[in-house]
Amino acid sequence: TGRQELINNGLNEWRNNQENKPKPKGRHGKTEAEKTEDTYTRLIKQQREQIALSSQNTELAKMKYQVTQGELSSLEKSKKETLLHNAALIDQKNIAEQLKTFREGLADSNAAARERGNIDFLGAGQGDKARDRMKEMADIRADFLRQQRDLQRDFSRGQISEDLYKKQTEALKTALAERLDIQEEYYKKTDE
């Protein structure tokens, strides 16, 4: 037990020495506490910037923040004006694209309504079964059209990128074609 006390005392003395040693400095001569403080300050700055920009979904609004309070505030006035002008042009292009997409969505909606209304006329001589099938197919198209309109609305609001919008639109078109094929196969099997 005396030996154990000696070992424990030596171990405690070594631990105390290790705890009281000055902390090694990093590459830039900063202690771990200073590095942590720098990281904290940087993160707070980034979060404040994100908060300030989160409600601003136009390029011009984001750029105005950057040139007045952000990283670009030290630029010359002429360079700031060029950046602001370019941001306004980007916004104009985005608005034009969103308007075009919106109009296409409206045209698709009108076409679907027209198709649904024409089914009774088109299927008049084909009987109830054929007319019901035409309505079912129109309902499938209408469901996909609703999804497309939701997607278009998200894009118009700037919630999704143009690239994602195009990819999802293409995926919807592919899924619609597949769904219509499945329905046609179902009709063929039930007719046998």
Q: What is the mean pLDDT of each run of 10 residues along the chain (192 residues)?
A: 74 77 63 85 77 69 79 84 89 82 77 66 66 84 87 81 89 93 90 81
Backbone angles phi, psi at 162, to 5 degrees: -65, -40
What is residue 169's predicted lDDT score, i.e. its pLDDT? 92
173 by DSSP, 3-state: which? Answer: helix
Judge whether 86 lies within some domain: no
Considering the domain architecture, whether residues 41 and 112 belong to the same structural domain is answered as no
Task: Tell me: do 122 and 184 sit in the same domain.
Answer: yes
Kindly provide the b/e burial profile for residues 128-161, where b requires at least 16 CB atoms within 10 angstroms of the residue's own CB: eeebebbeebbeebbebbebbbebbeebbeeebe
Task: Give the N- to C-terminal CA distance of the chain in Å, as an integer.
Answer: 94
d(CA 179, CA 136): 12
Alpha carbon of 137 to those of 130, 146, 178, 186, 192: distances in Å? 11, 14, 12, 12, 20
Same domain? For 47 and 119 the reply is: no
The pLDDT of residue 124: 56
Alpha helices in 21-58 (DSSP H): 32-54
Block residue for tokens 């198209």: 141
pLDDT at residue number 53: 63
Are 101 and 51 part of one and the same domain?
Answer: no
Question: How far is residue 13's CA from residue 6's CA, in Å, rounded to a whole number?
Answer: 11
| Same-domain pairing of 115 and 47 | no
> Is 40 part of any domain?
yes
- CA 37-38-43 angle, to 5 degrees, is 100
Domain that residue 159 falls in: 91-191
In a domain, 13, yes or no: yes
The answer to whether position 142 is within a domain reads yes
d(CA 97, CA 163): 12
The reply to whether 164 falls in a domain is: yes
- pLDDT given for residue 35 in this prediction: 86
Domain shared by 179 and 99, yes or no: yes
146 inside domain: yes
Instruction: Count the domains in the chain.
Output: 2
pLDDT at 159: 81
Q: What does the pLDDT read at residue 121?
A: 58
